[in-house]
Amino acid sequence: MSTNTPHGSEENMSERDADVARNTAHGKHVAEVRFPSISETQVIEFLKISTEEPSESYLNECLDWIKASQSYDRPIILELYGTLVIWTPTQMALVTAPRHFKKAEHAVLDFTTTAFELGAIEQALPSAWEHYENDIPNGFSFYNPDRESAAALAHRYKQAMSLAGRLSRLSPHIHLAPEHPPTLAGQLGERLRDRSRLVDREEFASEQIDTIIRLYETAGQRVSEHGLAQREYVLIWMIVFLLAAEIILLLVDLLSTAGN
């Protein structure tokens, strides 16, 4: 059925009942969801309203709740087949019938995890770009033949590859094939991914990472070539010294014979 399962993230749901007394008959409360696998500070408030009433009737209440924290200007608002989802990076609200609630919640949390992971990768990109311009010459030839430069290039390559690995692990969750027959969870996930442009953002991030990796791969080749050339160079000089030693020995022998 639903393939939108939370992928490997440990979510510590710490319950904070913000308004339990208000609508206990239908189940309405605010929970705090953390994503320690992404970041220690990554947390989102989750307003859950499980009700048989039409979800449209809760739209204003949910929007007021989000506006009250002044966290975000343009939330994603999704009203779909009796389910209401309002999503911002710091708060989200879900209103749906009790029989659909668990699957819808699952789908929303799964999307949130994916969005946050992609956001974390996007935030890591500027630091990967930081040294790009300065490192471009090393893609052609290794100009700074010292260990620190090579180590720095290796570190940046590892950084970029790490980002690429994270992005490619995330990619199946972004490019989830649409389900057929469609399920509520599948539809929620698909539309949330659409509205937040996850596919485009993943493509942009991937292109950037590819560009960075290309440079550092090439630079790595140059470093390696330089190392090989250095070793060859050393060997050549050793041979030169050996030959010079031979010549000196012969010369000294010749001179001492001539002297005698």
Q: Closest CB to other proteins among 34 and 103? A: 103
- Per-residue b/e over 220-249, b at no fewer than 16 CB within 10 Å? bebbeebeeeeeeeeeeeeeeeeeeeeeee
Query: Which residues, including other chains, have CB under 8 Å from residue 187's CB and lie 6 or more apart?
Result: 80, 81
User: Which range of residues in 19-27, 34-42, 186-194, 215-223 is near other proteins by CB under 8 A?
Assistant: 186-194
- Please select the residue that binds other proteins; options are 191, 201, 206, 217, rule is CB under 8 A: 191
Q: Closest CB to other proteins among 33 and 75? A: 75
Does 28 bind other proteins (CB under 8 A)? Our answer is no
Does 148 bind other proteins (CB under 8 A)? Our answer is no
- Please select the residue that binds other proteins; options are 42, 51, 187, 208, rule is CB under 8 A: 187
Lookup: tokens for 37? 């696998």
DSSP string, 3-20: -----S----EEE--SSG
For residue 49, give the 3-state DSSP assignment.
strand
Contact criterion met (CB below 8 Å) for 186 and 178: yes
- Please select the residue that binds other proteins; options are 118, 184, 205, 223, rule is CB under 8 A: 184
For residue 82, the minimal CB distance to other proteins (Å) is: 8
What is the size of the binding site for other proteins (CB under 8 A)?
35
**Within 63-82, which residues bind other proteins (CB under 8 A)?**
79-82
